[in-house]
């Protein structure tokens, strides 16, 4: 089992790229953010514990995240590895992951802070299939209709507002960005310029995975 990590600030395009490369890699996409939002929606113990942190734009405690991942890797589709999107976000999480699966590539999607707020504040997604869109940069072909599945049920995240984005960027710089050096020292870290067209970025990611 050998896994891939998509790394980068909030709004860098991790989810967008994960959806595009999952077919080529054959690895299922695992977004801890999506797992936590599902837990909040279902009112589980994990969701109740995580909600306050998420609403405030703070990282959810490592123990909660690591438990989620330990359970996820037991699913049958994880046998060949997973593609992690938004995990790990701290050195503790990365150390725990190293005991769970081998990581072959860490793909860092780099986008300057100055571009992040407009990315996040224009984001919406399909409530039915999860496809991610943007008001300006990546709108649906027909307004309000999902390109992937045809659903007209679109949603926006409660934490996708300017105040919370700034908190999330702080958390990224303080707690997550130190992981770049940690993975770089292992020789598996690949930097990709994420401030370009979505297709160009996908092409570069696929190249660095070869
Ligand atoms: P993340 O998973 O890293 O938080 P998303 O994939 O959800 O990021 O992307 C954040 C927002 O930016 C979405 O609205 C998405 O449509 C848009 N987006 C993704 N990639 C690009 C890009 N290369 N250029 C412009 N906008 C993008
Ligand atoms: P983003 O668009 O910021 O990349 P995510 O959907 O990955 O958003 O995460 C949303 C929120 O869920 C984060 O602000 C944080 O509160 C929580 N979260 C998600 N993944 C993790 C993680 N690996 N460690 C700690 N908190 C997490
Ligand atoms: Zn859809």
3-class DSSP state of 106: strand
Distance of alpha carbon 4 from alpha carbon 26, whole angstroms = 11
Ligand 1, atom nearest to 122 Cα: 14
Q: What is the pLDDT of residues 6-38, one digit of tens each?
A: 999 999 999 999 999 998 999 999 999 999 999
pTM given for the model: 0.96
pLDDT tens-digit series, residues 115-150: 999 999 999 999 999 999 999 999 999 999 999 999
Q: Which residues are catalytic?
A: 14, 89, 123, 157, 168
Higher-confidence position of 210 and 194: 194
- For the chain, give the percent of residues with pLDDT over 70: 100
Instruction: With CA atoms as reference, report the closest residue to 87 among 114, 69, 112.
Output: 69
List the structure tokens of 173: 């710089």
Average pLDDT, the chain: 96
Mean pLDDT of 182-197: 97
* Rounded distance from Cα 82 to ligand 2 centre (Å): 17
Residue in 69, 59, 77 with CA at minimum distance from that of residue 101 = 69
> What percent of the chain is modeled with pLDDT above 90?
98
Residue 65 confidence (pLDDT) above 90: yes
Q: Which pLDDT value is given to residue 76? A: 97
What are the residue boundaries of the structural domains of the chain, listed by start? 2-112+162-209, 123-159
Per-residue pLDDT tens over the stretch 101-120: 999 999 999 999 999 999 99
The Cα 48–Cα 40 span in angstroms is 6
Assign 44 a pLDDT band (cuts: 50, 70, 90): very high
Which among 189, 178, 18 is positioned nearest to 103, based on CA atoms? 189
- pLDDT reported for residue 23: 86
CATH architecture for residues 2-112+162-209: 3-Layer(aba) Sandwich (3.40)
Q: What is the pLDDT of residue 150?
A: 98
User: If you measure from the C-alpha of residue 99 to the centroid of ligand 1, how many angstroms do you get, rounded to a whole number?
Assistant: 30
**Has residue 185 got a pLDDT over 80?**
yes
Q: Tell me: pLDDT of 1 over 80.
A: no
For residue 99, what pLDDT is reported? 96
- CB 54 less than 6 A from any atom of ligand 2: yes
In 3D space, the residue among 84, 91, 81 whose CA is nearest the CA of residue 183 turns out to be 91
Backbone φ, ψ for residue 54 (5° rounding): -65, -45
Ligand 3 center to residue 147 CA distance, Å? Answer: 7
Q: Phi and psi at residue 16, in whole multiples of 5°?
A: -60, -45
């Amino acid at each position: 089992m050998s896994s891939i990590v998509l790394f980068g600030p909030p709004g860098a395009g991790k989810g967008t790229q994960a959806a595009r490369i999952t077919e080529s890699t054959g690895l299922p996409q695992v977004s801890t953010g999506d797992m936590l939002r599902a837990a909040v929606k279902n009112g589980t113990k994990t969701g109740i514990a995580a909600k306050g942190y998420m609403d405030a734009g703070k990282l959810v405690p490592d123990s909660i995240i690591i438990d989620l991942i330990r359970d996820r890797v037991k699913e049958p589709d994880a046998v060949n590895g997973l593609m992690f999107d938004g995990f790990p976000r701290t050195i503790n999480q990365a150390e725990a992951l190293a005991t769970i699966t081998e990581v072959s590539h860490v793909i860092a999607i780099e986008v300057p802070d100055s571009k992040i707020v407009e990315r996040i504040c224009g984001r919406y997604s399909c409530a039915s299939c999860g496809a991610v869109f943007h008001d300006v940069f990546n709108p649906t072909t027909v307004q309000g209709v999902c390109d992937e599945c045809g659903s007209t049920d679109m949603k926006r995240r409660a934490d996708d507002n300017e105040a919370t984005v700034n908190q999330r960027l702080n958390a990224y710089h303080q707690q997550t960005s130190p992981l770049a050096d940690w993975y770089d020292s292992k020789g598996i870290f690949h930097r990709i310029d994420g401030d370009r067209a979505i297709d160009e970025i996908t092409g570069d990611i696929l190249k660095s995975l070869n």
